[in-house]
Structure 1
Amino acid sequence: MGSTKLPLRHRMLPVLAIAFGAPVCAEFLQAYLPSTGDAPEVLLSLLILAPLYGGTALLIREVAVRRGLGWTGVLLLAAAFGVAMPGLVDLSLFVEHRDDIAYWDELRQGTFVAELGIAVFPTMSWVAGHVFMSVGAPLAVLEAFASRHRGRPLLGPVGTVVTAGLCVLAALLIRADSVRLYGQSGLTRTLVVLAVIVALGLLALTRAGQPIEPGQVRPMPVWSLALIGAVGMFSFDILPATWTGVTIMTVLLVVVAALLWWWSSATAWSPKQVAALAAGALIGRTLIGFLAPLPDGVSLLAKLSQNTLLLAAVLALAWLLTYRRASRDSQSAAPAAESGSSAPLETAT
């Protein structure tokens, strides 16, 4: 069990930050939605997506804190969510055509496998995107800024039930809309997706999801980690939707996972350094937004305005993470250490 949570008035800000930060990181940085540049519609979308994306991120964090999981466990749970979103919620995994996204057919056709009814490239891209953007980046940033909450729950019993209920409700509403527009995905496909989700969730709760014992070597400077995150995410997002893209993406993901695992076991990461890597990824994803096709009905000025505003925000975030004093970092593990429990999210992977 994680250490005791702080009073509600101290937990509201980080809870809201994750609730609304997760959908921004996941969906709005790329500026590809029809709501791009329309502030009222963006806010409405946030209200709908916050319980789903933000609620999931909060629930994953709660599991990690209470079960003593490390970043590996968090990312495995995020991968389960990454499979659930296109496979069970918005059904993108099986949708053959979408009128609201001009490049949808091109995205699927290059790596479509008729026997499975899915396209490999977008499937990998969506799952990895949810791992990095929907869950990983928001939680990493929170750990850097909200030092007194590290190793502490943010949700109590009532908060957990309410968050889970709103998350499920949002998922059901989105699924119902997808079924209305695109039809059912089929029982067999649904069962396969469920099996994958359960397998990832169970794996996260095994020893594989526990924190890695850090080494004593000093890790890389935060500015270099931010640069690696930006270049890596940008490279990931510009891959072509072809089998060549699938091959490069696979190699890239394996290399990144291996490097992070090695760095985590050889060096002593701080939450600030983990967050710098995540902030770099946010910069890379935001830069890709400038290259995203103009959504139907959206003016170029509106799109560029959103691109610029979000880029300024993530650059400011990266600057704060890179240059602000880290005086409170040394105090971050004190509550968990005093309680005798392990502090999750303190290890790089």
Structure 2
Amino acid sequence: MKARSSTPDRGRLRAAWTLVLLTVCCAELSFTAVAVPKTWLLLPLLLVMYGAGVLLIREAAVRVGAGWPSLVLLGVAYELAEDGIGLQALTSPEMYGAADWGWRLGGANLTYWASQLGVHVVFSVLVPILLIGLIFPSHRGRPFLRRGGLIVVGVLAVLGVVGLRVVISSILDPGYRAPLPWIVAFVVAIAVLAWIALRVVPRVPVPAPTTLAPRPVVVGLTAAAATYVFLLLTLPLALRPGSDPLLGEIVPAPVPIVLAAAVAYGIGWTIRRWSVAPTWSDQHWIWMVGGILVAHTAFMMPASWVAMGIGSVTITVEVALLVLLARRVGSS
């Protein structure tokens, strides 16, 4: 009995560090850095901000037995901390030119907000945590950190938010301070979302399977299409300066957000329904992740010829690593 329990414990820190690296790779290095290679210069800050933040989310969820719906809510809280309090981009009229992307109401960049909700919930939180469970199957549902490590990670996550404020916000939008009522609202919303995610949602029963899952390739193509359409509706293609998201000046500003929300809800509901089917397997998860990652990298490739080259290499690496993971999962 002791030997069995010590084996997972022995690899827990390796799993934790892998999650830190995966989070940065999925959220930035295979996405924004494709169009904006200078993103690599921020790697130390990104490791603290993304790595510590998502590791903290994963540890908190595991400790209460929370599942994917709770991780979604914690991802929303994470986005508010990063973009609302750290970068202040949710309210800034200047940063990234986000105020011109679409709907700005009450001093908030709602189109930018919608885009970052999708980006951070999926690319920063769900995909890395899903991958870490596939790479380290013996650690699924197990904490990586002890209490002391959890406290350190929590402190680092806070420092990551402070670092965004000091390093990035002060350079890209010097002198801007988010209105105090918005900061208070973000803090309250983060606390409420965390409480619901960790205290209420884990008690909600998982729905019974009602359908058979399609083939993994269908899951991958569906995830890729949904990812690309969501990004087109909420972000300028490849983050080109001066451009707008799809339908930006053709329809009223709220319409793309509503359509993007429909896409997000539709794919989320579909995947959740498929994933409880008896025919769903780890291969389905790998194809789903592959579709998401390839689509989000491809979205950034039209930025320039350099981005085309970087994106092509990035997609090749993504596919190669996922093929290796699929073989490993299939042989286990």
- Normalized against structure 2, the TM-score is what? 0.83
In 2, the alpha carbon distance for the partners of 1:290 and 1:9 equals: 40
**Structure 1 residues 262 and 304 mapped into 2: Cα distance closer, same or farther (>3 Å)?**
closer
In 2, the alpha carbon distance for the partners of 1:52 and 1:284 equals: 24
The answer to which of 54-63 and 209-218 deviates more is 209-218
CA contact (8 A) 2:127 2:289 kept: yes
**Deviation, structure 1 residue 14:** 2.0
Q: Which amino acid aligns with 1:142?
A: I
Q: Secondary structure at the match of 2:91?
A: coil
Q: Secondary structure at the match of 1:29?
A: helix
Counterpart check, 1:248 vs 2:241: no
The answer to which of 231-240 and 259-268 deviates more is 259-268
2:59 is matched with: 62
Counterpart check, 1:326 vs 2:295: no
The answer to which of 303-312 and 174-183 deviates more is 174-183
Residue segments in structure 2 that go unaligned for 5+ positions in a row: 234-245
In 2, the alpha carbon distance for the partners of 1:321 and 1:238 equals: 29
**Structure 1 residues 194 and 5 mapped into 2: Cα distance closer, same or farther (>3 Å)?**
farther
Cα deviation digits, residues 58-113 of structure 1 (max 9, x gap): 11111121101111111111111122211111111011113xx4x54532xx2111
Counterpart check, 1:222 vs 2:216: yes
Higher relative contact order (CA 8 A, sep 6+): 1
CA contact (8 A) 2:30 2:314 kept: yes
CA contact (8 A) 2:82 2:164 kept: no
2:289 is matched with: 278
**Deviation, structure 1 residue 216:** 8.2
CA contact (8 A) 1:79 1:131 kept: yes
2:44 is matched with: 47
**Deviation, structure 1 residue 317:** 3.2
Counterpart check, 1:94 vs 2:84: no
In 2, the alpha carbon distance for the partners of 1:79 and 1:5 equals: 35
CA contact (8 A) 1:83 1:193 kept: yes
1:314 is matched with: 318
CA contact (8 A) 1:214 1:267 kept: no
CA contact (8 A) 1:286 1:311 kept: yes
* Aligned positions, number: 308
In 2, the alpha carbon distance for the partners of 1:119 and 1:202 equals: 26
Trace 1:24-43 onto structure 2 (pairs within 5 A): 24-31=25-32, 36=37, 42=40
In 1, the alpha carbon distance for the partners of 2:5 and 2:153 equals: 19
* Correspondence for 1:199 among 192, 198, 205: 192
Trace 1:1-349 onto structure 2 (pairs within 5 A): 10-31=11-32, 36=37, 42=40, 44-98=41-95, 101=96, 104=98, 106-107=100-101, 110-113=102-105, 116-177=106-167, 178-179=169-170, 181-210=174-203, 212=206, 215=209, 218-239=212-233, 240=246, 241=248, 242-267=253-278, 269-291=280-302, 293-294=303-304, 300-301=305-306, 303-322=307-326, 324-328=328-332
Q: Which amino acid aligns with 1:74?
A: L
**Structure 1 residues 275 and 62 mapped into 2: Cα distance closer, same or farther (>3 Å)?**
farther
Q: Which amino acid aligns with 1:183?
A: Y
Task: Note the aligned Cα RMSD (angstroms).
Answer: 2.7
Give % identity. Answer: 24
Q: Secondary structure at the match of 1:94?
A: coil
When you count helix as a share of all residues, which structure comes out higher? 2
**Deviation, structure 1 residue 13:** 2.8
The answer to which of 64-73 and 250-259 deviates more is 250-259
Cα deviation digits, residues 286-343 of structure 1 (max 9, x gap): 110112x35xxxxx43x33321221112112333355554343xxxxxxxxxxxxxxx
In 2, the alpha carbon distance for the partners of 1:256 and 1:206 equals: 25
**Deviation, structure 1 residue 130:** 0.3
The answer to which of 132-141 and 178-187 deviates more is 178-187
Residue segments in structure 1 that go unaligned for 5+ positions in a row: 295-299, 329-349
The answer to which of 4-13 and 144-153 deviates more is 4-13
In 2, the alpha carbon distance for the partners of 1:128 and 1:314 equals: 20
